[in-house]
Structure 1
Amino acid sequence: MTDTDDSLPFAGEYASPPCFMHELETGEGAQLRHPDPKLWNDVTRWRKAERERLIAARLAVSPEERIVRSNRIAEKLTVAIGRVKDQLIGVYWPIRGEPDLRKWMTDIVGAGGRIALPVVIKKGWPLEFRRWAPGDPMERGIWNILVPSHGPSVQPGVVIAPLVGFDSARYRLGYGGGFFDRTLAAMPARPLVIGVGYATSKLGSIYPQPHDIPMDVILTDE
């Protein structure tokens, strides 16, 4: 669940000239509804530039500060989820400066909860969740991310998704592969979906498309 520094300012400049960006709806949570593919091409370039900028910014945060921020998010997650005993919670293995919830995951297992981690099976397919507990065998999956090396596919009742960026309408800017939205759309029962990220990753809008699925809740370090 992956991208580098483009050193672009937050607003007004893009990786390539956004000839049609002014035609988009504006304001927080604005959606791109125009059928003109040129508009979507501009948004795609803008998303890529923002993705690179936001990832570079969080990688620039010191490891110590990142731990502090991750712990704040973990505390909020505990409150938001409430009783964890017997709950199956889909989390993620952190990469590229994402909030590190591994200690929290261990605490959840200790409190009687269950953890599942996402596994990329194939490009264009939904993610598969597999049970995980401390000490379980892991292997390197796609993008060199550690995943449970075996186990059946499970369906979490709560899914925690890392955010590269987000907006006030609770839409998530991810890594661009579409895995997360595809996974939610394929689940037989909609889980509680919680997006987690740093407050500095908030955007005016990610310009969501009809296939983009908003989070139920977004939790940040502030």
Structure 2
Amino acid sequence: MMKIPETSPASSPCALSEADPGYAGLERDTEAVSRWRKKERERLIAERLAIPVEKRRALGEKIAANVEREIGDIRGLTVSAYWPFRGEPDFRPLMAKIAARGGKTALPVCAKRAAPMIFRIWTEGEPLECGIWNIPVPAETAPTANPDIIIAPLVGFDGKNYRLGYGGGYFDRTLAAIPYKPKVIGVGYAGSRMSTIYPQPYDIPMNVIVTDER
């Protein structure tokens, strides 16, 4: 009987693209990590969309309350949030609170594909237009902003504050291009925690991750 070397993979090499990169020994293989992230992204989005709407709304309110405590005194600060998409926590009520308490609010805008985002000032009631992926963004006439705090939605996250996003790299490009250091708060559901996202050299960790639990 032929003896199988201990270093041989248990699965066929053609199936390794479906395995956890750490298990397969491919942590530094960018393409393998990308394929694995795509599967994890699909799984996590499906899981959050399966949460009943009322429960998801309640979890989102807890996340927003925890973010509000994390920010503290908002007077004079500009906070960028986001327009909710595919079951993300809704931060529009918190944006209204921030504006009422002396802060300014903004939304990120993808001015063009595969480029850093810009931020435009926006408060409830001001005009919006259709952006990339049909997500509403502040009108082109809105002033741009340099947010002091950036709230970044996430699909998944790990214990080192790395964020799994949608795969476009927009937040990483943006954070790498910003000439100053805003506080970046990743927000998502506690159930989206992962053991690791297998961070690559281009991934930028959040300053803090806030969920419905903490």
Provide the TM-score with structure 1 as the length reference: 0.85
CA contact 2:157–2:194 (8 Å) conserved in 1: yes
- In the TM superposition, residue 152 of structure 1 has moved relative to its aligned partner by 2.8
The question of 1:128 aligning with 2:118 is answered yes
Residue 161 of structure 2 corresponds to which residue in structure 1? 170
CA distance in 1, matches of 2:184, 2:49: 25
CA deviations 1:40-77 (Å, max 9, x no partner) are 22211110000001111111111111111011011111
Report the RMSD for the aligned CA atoms in angstroms: 1.6
CA distance in 2, matches of 1:204, 1:114: 35
The question of 1:193 aligning with 2:184 is answered yes
State which of 47, 50, 62 in structure 1 corresponds to 2:40: 50
CA distance in 1, matches of 2:76, 2:117: 22
CA distance in 2, matches of 1:67, 1:122: 31
Instruction: Say how many residue pairs are matched.
Output: 197
CA distance in 2, matches of 1:24, 1:121: 38
Residue 94 of structure 2 corresponds to which residue in structure 1? 104
Give the secondary-structure state (helix, strand or coil) at the position aligned to 1:126.
coil
Q: Unaligned stretches of 5+ in structure 1?
A: 1-12, 26-31
Give the secondary-structure state (helix, strand or coil) at the position aligned to 2:16.
coil
Equivalent runs, 1:1-16 vs 2, <5 Å: none
Residue 137 of structure 1 corresponds to which residue in structure 2? 127
Provide the TM-score with structure 2 as the length reference: 0.88
State which of 188, 194, 206 in structure 2 corresponds to 1:203: 194
Larger RCO, structures 1/2 (Cα 8 Å, 6+ apart): 1
Residue 6 of structure 1 corresponds to which residue in structure 2? none
CA deviations 1:76-121 (Å, max 9, x no partner) are 1111000011110011000000011111111111111110100011
The question of 1:113 aligning with 2:111 is answered no
- In the TM superposition, residue 24 of structure 1 has moved relative to its aligned partner by 3.7
